[in-house]
Structure 1
Amino acid sequence: MKGQEWYQADAVAEAYEDKRFSRGGRLIDRREKEAVLEALSPFEDRRILEIACGTGRFTVMLAERNAEIIGLDISRPMLQQGREKAQHAGVTDRLEFMRGDAGRLPFPDDYFDAVFAMRFFHLADTPEAFLREMARVSKDVVFFDTFNAGSARSIYNWALPMGSRLYGDPEVRSLVDDVALDLEAESHDFIIPYGLYRKMPDWMADGLRDLDRSAVSSPVGEQMASVSYWTARTSE
């Protein structure tokens, strides 16, 4: 998988959220959290697994909503950031962080009500293997996001430190079918690249986001979206 060593550096973990979700990046954080909440609701007494949980942005959020959640990541520094966040939020009794490999999940079949991964599949060298494991341990919902080949990201992807795996719509649908999941819902967002938002002050990013939302709601805009959110269910 791309970036394994990079994500395990202490300095990267410590600066991760400030670098990505401050200034205009807070709009990205808000939209991603909305997508997770919509896909995984209801939460109370549900057992949920987050793959590549990083610093616990979503893990802690769901624990605060009374989910029983495990966050799995390969990076010890990232997990430590998550543990500190959970302790500060007072949710350590409903949350566990584990270091592990998303390609070999240490759980039995159908162990979770829902399994999700955010900011993960663009790093995956074998996406089908990861999605198959997610489907295996979930008895209901599987949720994930992808970066899209038809978006502006494809123009500058080569210049990113690790690049990204970019997906076309047919490839995602084929992946979902291949692991025997049923695609239930999809949504597409952010014509304007994430990197541009992060460089903007709040007031400028807010105005641009309004324009972005209007543009992406059109059929042409949807095809140009940078990111897609996919909600699938295990086949009965």
Structure 2
Amino acid sequence: MKEILSAAENFLYENKGLELSCPILVCPFCQKELIACYNSLSCKRCELCYPIQHGIMDFLLEKECYWVSGAFSHESKNYEQRYQSLEKAKNYNLQKKKEATLSEGKIIEKLLEAQGKTKFLLDVPCGGGRLSYFLEKNTQYLIEADIAYGQLLYGQKNFQSAIPKIYLRTSALRLPLKDNSIDAAVCIRLSHHLHSEQERILLIRELLRVSSRFVILSFNDSYAFKNIYRGWKKRLEKNTMSMDEIARIANDFHADLLCAPNTGFMRTHRYALLIKRENSNIILKEE
């Protein structure tokens, strides 16, 4: 377990993260360049200021347009508020099943290995870093992003890493990254919390926008045996997606669904590998 960083170590750690990430970061609201200041980043255009503390760059401002309307907005805020403290994040992560993490990690690792090593890899939402071990084997720099500050602190202080990491407090639906600025994004166990097709489209679009090569996205499969059985008994409580839906959304943003393996017959989650077509850019309208 890592010791708490000294003030001097914190200073070096934060500046290393800044040095690595500044070329790829933008303001999440206006997509304009950021200026590095002491313990913060500021936007050249909208003059918003994003604080940096304990090596974590905080882009999650209380601004109404940040959150997508609907049920996901309320659920996200609850998660964010619940795991702001390190102690609460610790309790949450200790409850996670190690077997599930291992089987999930192995399938993600296999998908990553097939695509070759990346320079920048995004893990969003990263939680307390439960999948970091599997991800960092296949990248030079790992970007850990989550909306809960406590989760980021927990991952930072409890998992030794062989590679440099960049920590961002941000929403997966509005990432502070330039178009095609990273090689790939991994988004695990988020899509089934999205309550509408609009939100699912926004998530996939945003992940493909920032990634130049590919995206790995987990989803709760509509046609998994367990979900079909649940559907006979009662209305599904969790939000599901089909492979056809994933493929259609990916195609709209110039990407192809290459495969979507699962970890077993009785498992409901699949792991979609979306490959971006060459020279494709996601054009976003300015809001």
> Of Structure 1 and Structure 2, which has the larger fraction of its residues in helix?
1
Q: Which residue of 2 aligns with 1:182?
A: 256
C-alpha distance in 1 between matches for 2:168 and 2:275: 24
SS of aligned partner of 1:98: strand
Partner residue of 1:3 out of 52, 67, 75: 75
Measure how far apart 1:30 and its partner are: 1.3
Where do residues 52-201 of structure 1 align in structure 2 (5 Å cutoff)? 52-63=125-136, 67-86=140-159, 89-91=160-162, 94-125=164-195, 126-151=199-224, 152-153=226-227, 155=230, 163-192=237-266
User: Is 1:34–2:106 an aligned residue pair?
Assistant: yes
C-alpha distance in 2 between matches for 1:159 and 1:4: 23
Q: Which moved more, 1:99-108 or 1:44-53?
A: 44-53
C-alpha distance in 2 between matches for 1:80 and 1:182: 35
Measure how far apart 1:149 and its partner are: 1.9
Give the aligned residue type for 1:188.
N
Measure how far apart 1:132 and its partner are: 0.6
Alpha-carbon RMSD across the aligned residues, in angstroms, is 2.7
C-alpha distance in 1 between matches for 2:166 and 2:184: 15
Q: Which residue of 2 aligns with 1:210?
A: none
* 4+ residue runs over 4 A deviation: 42-45, 156-160
SS of aligned partner of 1:55: coil
Q: Which moved more, 1:145-154 or 1:168-177?
A: 145-154
**Greater relative contact order (CA < 8 Å, ≥ 6 in sequence):** 1
Change in Cα spacing, 1:185 to 1:4, as seen in structure 2 (3 Å) is: same
Give the aligned residue type for 1:178.
D
Question: Tell me, which stretches of 5 or more residues in structure 2 are unaligned?
Answer: 1-71, 279-287
C-alpha distance in 2 between matches for 1:128 and 1:106: 18
C-alpha distance in 2 between matches for 1:137 and 1:45: 14
C-alpha distance in 2 between matches for 1:101 and 1:120: 11
Question: Tell me, which stretches of 5 or more residues in structure 1 are unaligned?
Answer: 193-224
Measure how far apart 1:146 and its partner are: 0.6
C-alpha distance in 2 between matches for 1:182 and 1:170: 11
| TM-score, normalised by the number of residues in structure 1 | 0.72
Q: Which residue of 1 aligns with 2:53?
A: none
Partner residue of 2:92 out of 5, 12, 16: 16
Give the aligned residue type for 2:124.
I
Q: Which residue of 1 aligns with 2:44?
A: none
Give the aligned residue type for 1:123.
H
Give the aligned residue type for 1:143.
I
Kindly provide the CA deviation profile for residues 5-30 of structure 1, in whole angstroms up to 9, marking residues without a partner as x: 44231465223333231xxxx33211
C-alpha distance in 1 between matches for 2:219 and 2:182: 22
SS of aligned partner of 1:46: strand
Q: Which residue of 1 aligns with 2:8?
A: none
Give the aligned residue type for 2:100.
I
| TM-score, normalised by the number of residues in structure 2 | 0.60
SS of aligned partner of 1:71: strand
Give the aligned residue type for 1:72.
A
Q: Which moved more, 1:169-178 or 1:145-154?
A: 145-154
Which has the larger Rg?
A: 2
